[in-house]
Each structure stands twice: as structure tokens, then as C-alpha cells.
Amino acid sequence: MSNTRFQALQSVLNRTVPEIKAPSTKISDFYGANVFDKKKMKEYLSDDAYASVINSIEHGEPIHRDMAEQVASAMRAWAINKGATHYTHWFQPLTGSTAEKHDSFFEPTADGGAIERFSGDALAQQEPDASSFPSGGIRNTFEARGYTAWDPSSPAFLMGRTLCIPTVFVSYTGEALDYKVPLLKALTALDKAAVDVCHYFDKSIEKVNASLGIEQEYFLVDIALFNARPDLYVTGRTLFGHISAKNQQLEDHYFGSIPERVLAFMQDMETEALLLGIPLKTRHNEVAPSQFECAPIYEEINLAIDHNQLLMDLMDRVAKRHNFKVLLHEKPYAGINGSGKHNNWSMITNTGKNLLSPGKTPKNNLMFLTFFVNTIKAVYEHADLLRASIASVNNDHRLGANEAPPAIISIFLGSQLTEVLDEIETSRLSKKIKEENTLWQGIPKIPQILADNTDRNRTSPFAFTGNKFELRAVGSSANSASPMTVLNLIVADQLKKFKTDVDKLLKKGEKKDVALMITIKRYLKESRSIRFEGNGYSEDWEKEAETRGLSNIKTTPKALDVMITEKTAELFANTGVFTPREAHARHEILLESYYKKVQIEARVMGELANNVIIPAAIAYQSKLVENVKGLKDIGLDKSTYQAQLDIITKLSEHINFVKNNVEEMVQARKNINNNVEEVRQKAIDYDEKVRSYFQPIRYHVDKLEQLVDDSLWPLPKFRELLFFK
């Protein structure tokens, strides 16, 4: 076994840097070449069919069967032209990754020949064998049917020789089995609620879209080293490993130049992404060694999320060509920063106005304030649900670990806007103003800002950054659809309530601007406790948050409780996003995935400890024993081999600790498996009674790593994983 580590290190030394050539020096020459986008539709479709697809994209109207037939044959023609042989419905089941089932275009004909065919039906709907995807009890195996259905708002694309059609995934009984259906429903709710509120200001607005720009953090590790670490291979993170002497304390990686091998990977990955119409724009090193980030330009949210899912897949594929493995896990290495996925979110109208961008005139400012304050109020009302939407066993390592935002949801606005809001909250608003303009007395002018001016508070989970909010607590491997569904639906619900509140005042005869302002003022007061400008990593904040009544739920199983409360059920019903059955199913799936992941980690930990670590420690100990015996044989005094004796004793202490605790951990697992039925309790027990062994076992294994002869140590060490050439 010890050979694997050194063989891997040898392979790393022999790596060369491949030369990467983009299809053209001008990105615009090849951007989106592998996407059946609007431009290509126009070229391949009749005017009628084109109009029908556009109508469906923009207004969600169903596409008529005849038209679907036309679109399918156009897609096929385009794809076959580009060398495609297969097609697949591409969807996002609740496993967290993406799924595909490839079918060939080929169909035999009656006369014994064959044709390439792709029907409207095949485009519109497919029936993958759904029984192996999580459904949380929605779909019993006897009705194992699930359907994927075309989502025209996200364009089809070519991956290798396969035409991929983005789809939703629903059960036979119509319930959502994926991430996309609830997201699309939340977006519909937001569109409706936001347009209604926009009409207080501008009757010409017909549609509001949410926008999203996702910053993706990741680690790279050489594939040979990765393969030599069974824990990384199986669980995505290292379960053992003593922190290397040099890690991120010098903070020299962030501003350092990108290593050549990594740059080649990035260029290759960017080219592939750009061909798929993913507008990747930014690349840089991150804080931790071998950690990097990429970010596209923001897009309509459904597309942005599809693109991020696709990007994660693409990164993995391209990395293999470069003998790298991409680690998307939230916390691959203890003691070193983990990875997140900042979700930059705003709302934009069909007239091109960003509703979270402060305007030049008082009227525009009131419109900005309306959407701004409603977002704050929404997060205040449903902070726990937002927290639940980012909960996962992986993300539990980050939240509150002084590198990512704490598990307390709060909102950071920056000093300028805080001042503005404080002034509004305390300003005296005359209810009987005759002239509109006097309303604005006492209300500060909002600086036309901010983009460059907003403070960079990295410790806040939800920060306003000039013309968008940035949700920073999302885990790097997560599907952003989960938090974005929640964010959009809580804002939708809030805007609906806002409209009701304002309309009530209007009915009472209040002037419009006054009614808006009164409501905004009230919301500001009510939601005050969610606003926090200080250091989110500090202990003081934990205490203060508690006195403010903000929750601070540190582990996933309990954070998920809020998904099935009455308050949440009402919210889901108001916005039409989840039925109670769907909410319960999701809750169960998440709990199940939680304990199963802990279970897998515990197993890998036990196996590695027993079969790899302890044998290495014993091998070294035997060598020392031989040595001591030899020294004794030649008549030397005990003082000459005292050090050896000390090491032998220490090795035994650690070996015993590891062995005993692994046994206890296995027993704890068995107890739970045999005695705990209920899934929530199982998840909690796995956290409190199994996961609780991880740290102590690791501590002693890492001590062994420090003691054992380097040439006998079987697992690549942190310094080797993190600093590669």
C-alpha cells in the first residue's frame, strides 16, 4: 500500500502542461456554437414554429403538437449536422447531480433499413426508469413511472455526440421529483407578484425575471494523488490528514499567479463552457492553496442554474483530460478554507430595469426602496427556511467555521444604505400631505451609488452589493435551485402581502406614495433585527443574535424541521410552489441523504483506520522494536534507546485509541440501524452518536501521521495534495 503514495507522487513529477488552443482568438466566433439557441431556431424553424417557441419561452404557453414536431426535426437536423448520434432528456433529480438517459436517433424501418428520427413526442416527453431516483415516498416502486418534460426556456445543447434537452422531472401523479419544477413555479409566483407591485410605478411593465450570477469555488488535486486517497475518492473529502506546515497562513495564494497546469485546465474548461453558451468571465485563485474560482456573467435564473449544473459536470470532464480531479465538496481539507457558491440575485423587468438598482429620481427611489425593503422583510420572515435550503452534511462543515458565514441568517446593507433606512424609519411622515413632493421631505436622497462603494463584508450570509443581493452561504456542490426557489418564493409571498397592505391604505383614501411609504416604514421597523453590519464570525454576534431572537441552527437534521411547519405549509400554498406531500417528501429525502452520507464517511473512516493506518503504524513500531532489541543485544544502556521506547509507547496509545473508538463507532451505527426507524431521529442520532467520533479518531490518526516514518506512510499528505507543480 505504501507504494501507492510514492507511485502517485512520481506520476505528478512527470506531468507536462498541454497546449490549449481555442477554436478562435475571438470568443464571439464560437460562443454558443453547441447550443440550439434563438438564432439557430430562427434559421432552422418556420416563422410559425419560431414564434410558438418564443411565446412559450417568454410566457410559458404550451407548445402545440404540430409545432413540437417541427422543433424536434429542426433540432435533429442541426444536431446531426454537428455529428450527434443520440439525444437525451437532461434533468436535475434530487440526488443533486444531473441525469441523462441516451437514446439513439436511429430507428429501423419496415423495409429493413433505418432512418434517423426524432419526433415531437420524444422531444416533449420521455419516461426514464425513475425507480432509482429519490422520491421521498411519492412514488412507490409499483408506480415507478416518472416523466421528463421539455423545458423550452432553457435551450437544447450538444454534449459530445449527444443532443441534450433540458427537462423537468415529475412523477406519474404529477408531483415534482426534481429541482427545476419548484424553481419554475417560484419564478412564476415572483413574476406575478412583482409585476403587480411594479404597476404602482409603471403600468408598462409586463414581466419580471430574476437574474442570477453564480461564483463557483473549487479545489484541484492531481488525479494520481486523488486516487491514492480512498477517503477523497469515496466521500469527496479527506477524513484524515495532518495540516501541512504551510497552508494558507501567508495568504500568498490568493494574489499569486495561476499555476501553468491549472491555467491550461481553466482555458480548456472555459472554451468548452463558452461553446455551450455559458458566459464564463472571471477566473482566479482563491484563499486556500489549490483552490480556485470561476464566475459567469449573470443570466436569467433558470438558465443560470442549468448552466451552473452543466458547468460542474463539464469541469469534472475537462479536469480528467488534465490529470486533475475537481473537488466540489464544501470542505475537502479540515483546517483550510472550504468552498462556496455565491449566488448574486436581482430582479429585472422586461423594460430592462433592475428593481434592486437605486434610481435617479425620487419616484425611482421609491420603487427601489419597495423591492429592497420587501426582500429584507421576506428574509426576516423566513430566515429559517433560507437556512434550511442551504443545509447539507457537507455545508455543515463550513457554516460558522470562521470562513463562511455563520448559520445565523442576517442581512448586510453597508453603511450608506443603513443610514438611509434608519432615517426613513425615524422620519416623520405627514399622512395628510396634499402635494406629492412634500412627501420627500425628511426622506434622504439615496446616493446613486453604490456598486463600488458597498463594503465588502465577507462574514455576512446575505449582503447587498450595490444592485443585487448576494447569498453567500450556499455550498459549492449544491444545486442553487434549492436556495433560489426559496428566495424567489419568499419574496413573491412578501410582495403579495405588501400589495394587500398598500391597497388597504389606498382604500382608506391614502395617497399612493404615502401608502407605499407607510408600509415600507412599518416593514423596516418589523424586520430590524435581521440587519447586521458587524463581524459575523465573532462570538459576540452569536450572543447578540440570540438576544435578537434570530435562530442559529448548526446542524442539518434540525435545520430542516422548518420545511414541514404550518407556517411554511401556508407559504408554500400561497405561492403554489410545493404541495404538502412534496414538502414532506423533500424533507425526508434530505434527512435520508444526510444520514447515508454520514454512514458512508463512518465506514470509510473505519476501513482506512483498520486496514491502512493501523498496519502502517504497527509496521513502524515493529521496526523500532527490532532496533531496540538490537541495541540491547549489543549491550547498550537503556538511555541510548529511550527515544525509541517513547515512540513505541506513543504509537501504542494512539493505535489503541483509534482501534477502540472505531469499534465503538461501528457499534453506535449498528444500534441506530437496528433501533431507530424514524428518519429525522436517525439523522439526528447519526450526527450526535456517529459523527461525534470523527474528530477524536482523526486527531489520533493525525498524531500517528506525525510519528510514523514518512517512507511507511501510505496516504498522500496534505502538503502533497495541496501543493502540486
Indicate the DSSP class of residue 178: B
Considering only 177, 295, 560, 577, the residue that binds ligand ADP (CB under 6 A) is: 295
β-strand partners of 125: 149
Q: x/- binding map, residues 297-336, to Mg ion, per CB under 5 A?
A: ----------------------------------------
Give me the least distance between CB of 458 and Mg ion, in Å please: 9
| Residue 329 CB partners (closer than 8 Å, separation 6+) | 219, 235, 236, 237, 338, 339, 394, 476, 477
Please, which residue, 305 or 391, has the CB nearer to ligand ADP? 305
Binding-site residue total for ligand ADP (CB under 6 A)?
A: 14
| Cβ-proximal residues to 2 (8 Å cutoff; 6+ apart), any chain | 616, 711, 712, 713, 714
User: Could you tell me whether strands 146-150 and 125-126 are parallel, antiparallel, or unpaired per DSSP bridges?
Assistant: antiparallel
When binding is defined by CB under 6 A, the residue of 36, 240, 298, 693 that contacts ligand ADP is 298
Residue 270 or 396: which CB sits closer to ligand ADP?
270
Q: Pick from 93, 128, 155, 213: which binds ligand ADP (CB under 6 A)?
A: 213
**Amino acid at position 309, single letter:** Q
SS3 call for 406: coil
Say whether 507 sits in a helix, a strand or coil.
Answer: helix
| CB nearer to ligand ADP: pick between 293 and 705 | 293
The pairing of beta strand 162-171 with beta strand 86-91: parallel
Choosing from 151, 175, 178, 215, the residue that interacts with ligand ADP (CB under 6 A) is 215
Distance of closest approach, residue 640 Cβ to ligand ADP, in angstroms: 60
Residue number, 158 or 301, with CB nearest to ligand ADP: 301
Asked whether position 346 contacts ligand ADP by CB under 6 A, the answer is: yes
Q: Are strands 125-126 and 114-116 parallel, antiparallel or unpaired?
A: unpaired
User: Which residue's CB is nearer to Mg ion, number 474 or number 577?
Assistant: 474
To the nearest whole angstrom, how small is the minimum distance from the Cβ of residue 449 to ligand ADP? 14
| φ, ψ at 11 (rounded to 5°) | -60, -40
Which 438-467 residues touch ligand ADP, going by CB under 6 A?
467
* 49-57, 184-192, 209-217, 702-710 -> range binding ligand ADP (CB under 6 A): 209-217
354 touches ligand ADP by CB under 6 A: yes
| Least CB distance to Mg ion at residue 262 (A) | 21
Contact criterion met (CB below 8 Å) for 463 and 340: no
State the minimum distance, in angstroms, from the CB of residue 470 to ligand ADP: 6
Q: How many residues does the chain have?
A: 725
Give me the amino acid identity at 499. Answer: K
Contact stretch for ligand ADP (CB under 6 A) within 82-90, 154-162, 296-304, 399-407? 296-304
Helical (H) or strand (E) element with 48: helix 47-59
CB of 411 to Mg ion, least distance (A): 15
Q: Mask 607-646, x = binds ligand ADP (CB under 6 A)?
A: ----------------------------------------
Give the shortest CB-349-to-ligand ADP separation in angstroms.
12
Angle at CA of residue 646, ends 644 and 651, nearest 5°: 95
Out of 56, 235, 339, 344, the only residue in the binding site for ligand ADP (CB under 6 A) is 344
Is residue 397 within 8 A of residue 235, CB to CB? The reply is no
Nearest to 476 by CA among 644, 645, 614, 340: 340
In whole angstroms, the minimum distance from the beta carbon of 348 to ligand ADP comes to: 7
Out of 185, 253, 342, 700, point to the residue binding Mg ion (CB under 5 A): 342
Residue 588 touches which of ligand ADP, Mg ion, none (Cβ within 5-8 Å per kind): none
Residue closer to Mg ion, measured from CB, 425 or 455: 455
Residue 345 interacting entry, from ligand ADP, Mg ion, none, C-beta within 5 to 8 Å by type = ligand ADP
**By CB under 6 A, is residue 209 in contact with ligand ADP?**
no
Is the Cβ–Cβ distance between 479 and 590 less than 8 Å?
A: no
Q: Which lies closer to ligand ADP via its Cβ, residue 73 or residue 211?
A: 211
Sign of the torsion formed by the C-alpha atoms of 628, 631, 633 and 638: negative
CB-nearer residue toward ligand ADP: 485 or 621: 485
Full 3-state SS string of 433-476: CCCHHHHHCCCCCCCCCCCCCCCCCCCCCEEECCCCEEECCCEC
Buried-state track 195-228, b at ≥16 Cβ within 10 A, e below 16: bbbbebbeeebeebbbbbbbbbbbbbbbbbbbbb
Where do we find the cell 420521455?
126
Tell me the per-residue interface mask from 252 to 291 with ligand ADP, x by CB under 6 A, - otherwise.
Answer: ----------------------------------------
Q: Phi/psi class of residue 66: alpha, beta or left (left: φ > 0; alpha: ψ in -120 to 50)?
A: alpha
Decide which of ligand ADP, Mg ion, none touches 467; Cβ closer than 5 to 8 Å per partner kind. Answer: ligand ADP
Query: If binding means CB under 5 A, how many residues of this protein chain bind Mg ion?
Result: 1
